[in-house]
Chains A and B, each alone.
Chain A
């Protein structure tokens, strides 16, 4: 068994931005826990790719919205690794609908995964990190959480909520050398965005000064920076990775 000195958990890492973050963080000595609920084969593929980069990795399927499952999963991490150094709250879903047509369950499901899920993991991660007197937490928000977006009030509310969660946790945990930041991606090419109608894509592009959509790697690099020693003095911040779409 490879010796490890640190451990990281990335939620929603089977595909898209989460997978890319896992790959960006992969290095020998850091055990990376890949969480996702579906699809399992994609999550296992992420594990293989992370391992190919020299980092020990494990697939940890649990629903971030369920506090009991979260607690169990963190129990496994602490038992195996004895510590947790990095948490990336990336798991997120969309149930887009106009406000007047949005069903209660569309609202509840999105808030449960995107916001409560981050809270559940943050709470579970705080204990070992307080004990260690070190930790790095990054919450994946979104540019729309700061700008608003028609047809996505549930998603936007959850992503705006993550900003408040980030700032409050940053204040609470700062005395224990734990930093908490958010990364707010703009329009990034992933499975979540590829199904948008061409007209919508064109309209989005017109709002982006750099005149292109972002790559998952460009978000992952921001996360990699924030969890590194180089970012030790940065906490409670929102890092925007959006091609200039919003300048805040």
Chain B
């Protein structure tokens, strides 16, 4: 699985949404029905999956699925 697929799978699983809804432009809070604690969980799951820490200041900027994918690609 590449990074994009991994991220999409985690997002769908954590937020309990259909895999088809998880597009790069999807905004976690507005489009995928996430609440602020969901975002915290999502970040924790990404940290676990990819094995590095995401600082709170950086995490705050990650609003869409695409934001997360790009961020992880840049770090990995």
Contacts and interface: CB of A to CB of B under 8 A. Distances in A.
A131 B35 contact: no
Chain B interface size range? under 10
B40 interface: yes
Interface string A167-195: 00000110110000000000000000000
B11 to A, nearest CB: 16
Contacts of A176: 37
The majority secondary structure among interface residues of chain B is: helix
Nearest to B36: A172
Contacts of A127: 44
B36 to A, nearest CB: 9
B55 to A, nearest CB: 15
A134 B35 CA distance: 18
Contacts of B35: 175
A37 interface: no
B37 A131 contact: no
B31 to A, nearest CB: 20
A130 interface: yes
Contacts of B40: 130
A176 B40 CA distance: 12
A127 B35 CA distance: 15
